[in-house]
Amino acid sequence: MSAPIGELELVRFPVRGMTCGSCVNRIVRTVGKVPGVAKVSVDLRHETATVRREPALVSSATLAAAVAAAGYEADMSAAEVLPPGSDRGLLGRLLGRP
């Protein structure tokens, strides 16, 4: 994953077609290679992907194309931008860690 310099945005969107942990790994690897993506996490149970991106470099269409390249379908019409820090774990939020 690249280390973007500009302002980062956290976006979560549904992903269809996942059935197992290998699906999750494939999406994380493929989306993580997109320039401007800083972090990717995929929740198989909730069928969502959460991506920390530099919006000037990574559009929603780019994310959808990367997910499609991995063999799955991203529903960017249902994407939501999350508040900063939403992707940190409970301990990180309590301790103020990034």
pTM above 0.85, yes or no: no
Residues in a beta bridge with 38: none
Task: Please indicate, yes or no, if residue 94 is contained in any of the structural domains.
Answer: no
Query: How many domains is the chain built from?
Result: 1
Task: Please indicate, yes or no, if residue 1 is contained in any of the structural domains.
Answer: no
* Residue 61's CATH number: 3.30.70.100
Task: Please indicate, yes or no, if residue 38 is contained in any of the structural domains.
Answer: yes
Task: Please indicate, yes or no, if residue 25 is contained in any of the structural domains.
Answer: yes
Expressed as residue numbers, the domain containing 38 is 9-84
pLDDT of residue 4: 40
DSSP state for residue 35 in the 8-state scheme: T
Provide the angle, in degrees to the nearest 10, between the axes of the packed helices 21-32 and 60-69: 130
The dihedrals phi and psi of 9, each to the nearest 5 degrees, come to -130, 145
Helix (H, G, I), strand (E, B) or coil at 50: strand
Task: Please indicate, yes or no, if residue 26 is contained in any of the structural domains.
Answer: yes
Task: Please indicate, yes or no, if residue 90 is contained in any of the structural domains.
Answer: no
Q: How many Cα neighbours within 13 Å face the side chain of 16?
A: 5
Provide the residue-wise pLDDT of the chain in tens; the chain has 98 residues.
544 456 899 999 999 999 999 999 999 999 999 999 999 999 999 999 999 999 999 999 999 999 999 999 999 999 999 987 776 665 655 676 55
